[in-house]
Amino acid sequence: MLPMRRMLCAVHFMRKETGRSMKGLSFLHHRTQTSRLLTEGKPWKALVSFAGPIFLSQLFQQLYNTADSWIVGNFLGGDALAAVNSSGSLIYLLISFFVGASMGAGVVISRYFGAGDLERVSKAVHTNAVFSLICGIVLSVFGVAMTPQILRWMGVPEVVLPNATLYLRWYFLGSVPVVMYNSLKGVMNAVGDSRRPLYYLIVSSVLNVLLDLLFVGAFGMGVAGAAIATVASQTVSAILCLIQFTRKDTVYRLEWKKLRMDKQSLKEIVKYGVPTGVQNSVIGFANVLVQTNINSFGKEAMAACGAYSRIEGFVFLPIMSFSMALTSFIGQNLGAKQYERAKQGARFGILTSLAMAEIVGIVLFFFGGFFISSFVSNEDPETLQKIIGIGSTQCRVESLFFFLLAFSHAVAGICRGAGKAIVPMFIMLLVWCVIRIIYITVAMSIRHEIILLFAAYPLTWFISSVIYFIYYKKSNWIYGFGAE
C-alpha cells in the first residue's frame, strides 16, 4: 500500500485535474466495476461506450413489447391485435408519468456522483426507492379501477372493448415492478452502469417471448395470457435489479434500514422528475387523442397503426439511447464542472442520434409495408390489404422526418442532465400537446382522412425542433446547476 502521504497527494492531484470535490478516499474506494465516471477519456468514446448497452437494452425492451403484438396478431387475429394495440397509448400515458417522475433521481444522482458526494448519492437512492414504490402502487390501483371508463372515452369499438379491458387490467396489476425497474435502471445509468440493466432486460425479454408462446399459443389464454407474460417478465427484471442494489460493492447500495424519504433528496427528485413525468404524459395524452381518432377509422386502422407503432419503436432505439446517455453524461460533467467537455459531448450526441434515426427512417420508408404485414398474417386477403395499405401510408408520411424527432429528444436529454427539465416540459406541452391537438381537431373537422392525422407528427416535430435549436444555441444551459 502507498504511504498515507503519497495517497493524499494522489487524491489532491485527481481533484486538481478533474475539478471534482471528493470526500477523502471514499470515492476511490467505491469506484468499482458497477459504476463508471463519464468525466474521463474522450467525450465521444465515453458516450458511445455508455450508450451502446442502453441501445441494446432499448432493443430488447422493444422486442418484448413487439412480441405481444406479433404473437397475438398471428395466433388470435386482427380483433385481438386491435385490442392490444389500442391499449398502447393509454399505457404510455399513465406509466410514463410515474416513470418520468421517479427518474428525476437519475439527474440528482449523476450530478452528485460526478462531484464525488457519495453521501448525497446514497440519500437520493433510498428516497427514490420509496418514492418509486409509492408511485407504482398508486398507478396500479388507478389503472385497474379506471381502465373501462378510459377506454370508452377513447372511443374503443365495442367489439374490441372486452379484450382491451382484460389486457389493460392485467398490465396495470404489474405496475409496481414496471416503475421500480425503470427507476432502478435510471439510477444505474446515472452512475455510468449501463451494462447490468442490459443483462437483466435480455433475461426478461427472452422470458417474455417464451411465456407469450406458452400462454397464448399453447394454453390459449388469449390477450390475458399476453399481459400476464409481460407482467411476469417485468417482475423478474425488477427483482434482478433489487438483488444488484443490495450488493455491498456498489455506490448505489440499498440498505433496508435506510429506506426513508430524505427531504432535500425528495425535493430535488420532484424538481427534476415531475417535469419529465409531465413531459412524458403530455406526449402520451396527445397520443391518446390520436388513438381516439384512429379508432374512428375502424379496426383495420387500429391494427395497422398499432403495428406501425411497434415498428416505430425500433426507430426510437438510437434516439432514446443517446438521449438517456446525454442526460447522465451532462449531469456528471456539470457536477464535475467540466463545461467544455459537456459541450463537446452534447454536439456529438445530437449529430449521432440524428444520423442514426434518419438511416432507420429511410429503411422504413421503403420496406414499411413488408414490416406491417408480418404482424397480421392471420387475416383474410381483403382485410390484410387494408391494414398493410394504411400502415404503409403512415410509414411514408412520417419516416423521412425522424431526424427532427431525434433532435428534439437529444436536446431534451441535455436539458434534463443540466437540471433544466422544465424546459422540455413546456416545449412538449406547447407543441406536442396543444398545437398537435389543435391541428388534429381542425384537420379532422375539415376532412376526415387518416393521412391528415399522420401528418400531425412531422409537423409538430419540426416546430419543436426549431424551438429547441434556438434554446440550445442562445441559452446558458451549460450552467444549469447554478455554476458561475
Give the domain ranges of the chain.
Answer: 26-479
Lowest average pLDDT, out of 39-43, 145-149, 151-155, 183-187, goes to: 151-155
pLDDT, one tens digit per residue, over 89-117 is: 677 777 777 777 766 788 888 888 888 88
First to last CA, the chain: 39
Contact 68, 83 (CB under 8 A): no
Is a pLDDT exceeding 60 seen at residue 165? Answer: yes
**Predicted confidence band of residue 80 (pLDDT cuts 50, 70, 90):** confident
C-alpha span between 20 and 117 (Å, rounded): 9
pLDDT, one tens digit per residue, over 235-255 is: 999 999 999 998 877 888 899
Report H helices in 37-117: 43-76, 78-102, 104-115
C-alpha span between 311 and 305 (Å, rounded): 10
**Predicted confidence band of residue 9 (pLDDT cuts 50, 70, 90):** very low
Contact 386, 300 (CB under 8 A): yes
Residue 431's pLDDT is 93
C-alpha span between 160 and 163 (Å, rounded): 6
C-alpha span between 240 and 454 (Å, rounded): 39
Mean pLDDT of 293-297: 88
| DSSP 8-state symbol, 484 | -
pLDDT, one tens digit per residue, over 447-466 is: 999 999 999 999 999 999 99
C-alpha span between 298 and 310 (Å, rounded): 19
Mean pLDDT of 71-88: 73
Q: For residue 446, how many C-alpha atoms fall within 13 Å in the half-sphere facing its CB?
A: 9
Residue 35's pLDDT is 58
Is a pLDDT exceeding 90 seen at residue 481? Answer: no
Is a pLDDT exceeding 50 seen at residue 196? Answer: yes
Residue scoring higher pLDDT (134 or 71): 134
Report CA torsion sign: 421, 426, 429, 435.
negative
Question: pLDDT over 70 for what percent of the chain?
Answer: 88
**Predicted confidence band of residue 78 (pLDDT cuts 50, 70, 90):** low
Residue 83's pLDDT is 74
pLDDT, one tens digit per residue, over 347-397 is: 999 999 999 999 989 999 999 888 888 876 656 788 888 889 999 999 999
Q: What mean pLDDT, rounded, does the chain reach?
A: 82
Residue 430's pLDDT is 92
C-alpha span between 207 and 201 (Å, rounded): 10
**Residue appearing with cell numbers 432499448:** 58
**Predicted confidence band of residue 86 (pLDDT cuts 50, 70, 90):** low
Contact 365, 312 (CB under 8 A): no
Residue 97's pLDDT is 77
Residue 85's pLDDT is 67
| DSSP 8-state symbol, 255 | -
Most confident by average pLDDT, 16-20, 30-34, 209-213, 272-276: 209-213
pLDDT, one tens digit per residue, over 200-240 is: 988 988 898 899 899 988 888 888 888 899 889 989 999 99
Q: Which residues, in sequence order, are CB contacts of 72 under 8 Å at separation 6+?
A: 80, 81, 84, 216, 223, 226
| DSSP 8-state symbol, 475 | S
Residue 34's pLDDT is 53
